Amino acid sequence: LAAEHPDPSSVQLKCLQKTFRQILDGNGADLFNEDDWITFSQGMNSTWTQQTSHAESFAQLDKLSELSFASDVAEGLVWIDFSSIPQMVDVQGANTFELLQHEIDQALAVQTIPFYLERSNYFWVLTPDATHETRKKRCGFASWRGRGWCRLEEWANFLSRRCLMPLVVTDAPKISTYSMLAFMLDNLNKPERAPCMGEFSCCSANHTFCVGSMPR
């Protein structure tokens, strides 16, 4: 939500904290509509047809209860992409060697994303309505879906060996979610939705940015 910080006013952080508190209070199911909770917690839904139930069953392999959901939130660790991957904004004033090393570290960290996904139990998408403090544009789930890196993580999740149903947290009173099959069908024959066709920060800077006085 800013050029140098993902959440400078803690809009997203406060939204996630509120959600986690409700789950810790044992009200996890209340954050979903009835069908979504059954689908998410049990990995199946009575509305699925026999033809699609096999494919859809891979959407959520782990069976959950409100108690186990709360326990996972209480004891779990949160991996946040922006803070877990070296960012170029962190090396303002660096010399050439430090800059090159930082770029190498960043590239190596990006390559670890699939491994974190494989080891994750939940895939949270945190997209409350907010204003980007640098670009002055409204941001939400639609803008998240438009970003190249976010698309990459979404695809990586669904293509992983144990794909997870995304938990989309917005300003709406309920968490929304969707399955692998729904995602695949929605993106079928839509190459414009590919990660490489998404928006990247470098696009708005005409693919040039400076670290100190050095253009990159």
Q: What is the pLDDT of residues 45-56, one digit of tens each?
A: 656 665 666 655
Is 4 inside a domain boundary? no
Residue 1 within any structural domain of the chain:
no
Quote the domain boundaries for residue 108: 11-215
| Nearest-angstrom CA–CA distance, 82 and 65 | 30
The pLDDT confidence band at residue 167, using thresholds 50, 70 and 90, is: very high
Average pLDDT, the chain: 83
How far is Cα 143 from Cα 31, in angstroms, rounded to an integer? 23
Domain contains 114: yes
Residue 123 lies in a domain: yes
Sequence-distant (6+) residues with CB within 8 A of 36 are 174, 175, 176, 177
Q: What is the pTM of this model?
A: 0.83
Question: Does some domain include residue 3?
Answer: no
- Is pLDDT larger for residue 98 or for residue 33? 33
In a domain, 16, yes or no: yes
Domain count of the chain?
Answer: 1
